[in-house]
Amino acid sequence: MFKVVFDTNVIVSAALYEKSLPALLLSLGLEDKVKFFVSPAFLNEYEAVLKRPRFKLGQKQITELMGKINRKALIVTPTKRLKILKADEPDNRVLECAIIAKADFIITGNKRHFPFEEFKGSKIVTPREFINSISEL
């Protein structure tokens, strides 16, 4: 079973668009089809971003989604803080989580924030690239 870390933008897209590829990927994690890893810092970021007024998500919807993620995701606690990515500093939390989880994939909608294709064994892919790579197996 693949081990994955979802960047915050994938979670937000899944929340906003029920019939989207990010929503499908999140459902794979929530249905135990992939092992989905988060860190405490990541959970805080997911929730903070989902609450941004521009997304117009209701508190009930956010609470339900965060509840599902808390029940299904495997929580890891990174031991060191990275300062590798400069463009979007919180993306370092993605790398920290992926290292400790030994993730196969980091799935992000913002590949440009990650200036490498792989990081310590974790392939950095878009939702589409992830689906394409697992469908080839």
The pLDDT assigned to 76 comes to: 97
pLDDT along the chain (137 residues), means of 10: 96 96 96 95 94 96 97 94 83 93 96 91 96 79
Domain at 11, CATH number: 3.40.50.1010
Q: Residue 85 half-sphere exposure, CB side, CA atoms within 13 Å? A: 19
Confidence (pTM): 0.94
Q: Domain count for the chain, please give it.
A: 1
CB proximity list for 133: less than 8 A, separation 6 or greater: 123, 125
The pLDDT assigned to 127 comes to: 97
The pLDDT assigned to 85 comes to: 86
The pLDDT assigned to 89 comes to: 80
Domain boundaries, position 113 = 3-135
Distance from the Cα of residue 83 to its chain's centroid:
19
Can you point out the beta strands (E) in the chain?
3-6, 35-38, 74-75, 105-107, 118-119, 122-125
The pLDDT assigned to 126 comes to: 97
Q: Distance between CA atoms of 76 and 93, rounded to whole angstroms? A: 11
